[in-house]
Amino acid sequence: MIELESHGADTYVGTGPAYPWGGLYGGQIVAQALRACGHTVDPAFRPHSLHAYFIRSGDAAEPIRFEVDRLRNGRSFVTRQVVARQSGGAILTMIASFHVDETDASVQVATAPDAPSPGELEHDTWSPMFERAVIERDEVTRRRLAWLRVSADLGDDPLLHACGLAYVSDDLPTESLVAHHPAWVPDRDPDDDWRFMSASLDHAVWFHRPFRADDWHLESYHPGGLHGARGLTTGHFFDLDGTHIATVAQEVLLRERRQSGS
């Protein structure tokens, strides 16, 4: 999925599998867009942030065309903009920034929450791309916690690990907000999730420290609330040693489905 085909100057084409809910998975498009940007950047620069907007639902039956614009090449930072397109028009636009390694102070303020290890939990997933071990939701804070890792060995390329983390980072934000909706019912039947219509609106990732996306990392999402059918959630990602490796923010569209005749 991450091996994009070159189609001319700074243009790449990728495909995606069909997903259970139809359409494409936002994390896939973000990961592929980041890989397309990375193809135009010297390997000395590593991804440090990305900011993406989801514009239309993708179609798994069509290839995706990634068009990269080289906005800036600096001595310390490189900036790229990419648009992902299908036959219906643009489905995503994203700006990604890359930074050379610098030696300076390293201070960690965010702390990993107490959580059982992945080996103590049941594993589940909806994709062969990654493994997941979900931790029972805290009914007081409604914080969403889970361990995730990419299933395949990604080798030593930091860009691939950034793409892998970007892929899985779109899995939990919506779940962290659903529990705050007044229509949400604790201990509900799993089919009850279909009472909501949801979509990712925009997505941002900041990569703080070196990591491996094919190692377990703990995702801790903190919802900021809902208003006007939109909700914001922020996630801190920690490796097995408690090192803060990344931060994610996403705004989600969340609507309660109207029953027929209402």
Which one, of 195, 245, 200, 186, lies nearest residue 220 by Cα?
245
Give the pLDDT score at 140: 62
- What stretch(es) of the chain map to CATH 3.10.129.10? 1-100, 118-262
pLDDT value of position 17: 86
Q: What is the pLDDT of residue 144?
A: 84
pLDDT, position 256: 81
Share of the chain above pLDDT 70, in %: 92
**Residue whose token pair is 């809910």:** 21
pLDDT at 186: 62
Q: What does the pLDDT read at residue 262?
A: 40
The predicted pLDDT at position 260 comes to 45
Q: Which residues of the chain carry a pLDDT beneath 50? A: 260-262
Does domain 118-262 fall into CATH 3.40.47.10? no
Residue 184, pLDDT score: 66
**Which residue reads 């990375």 in tokens?**
38
Enter the CATH code of domain 1-100.
3.10.129.10
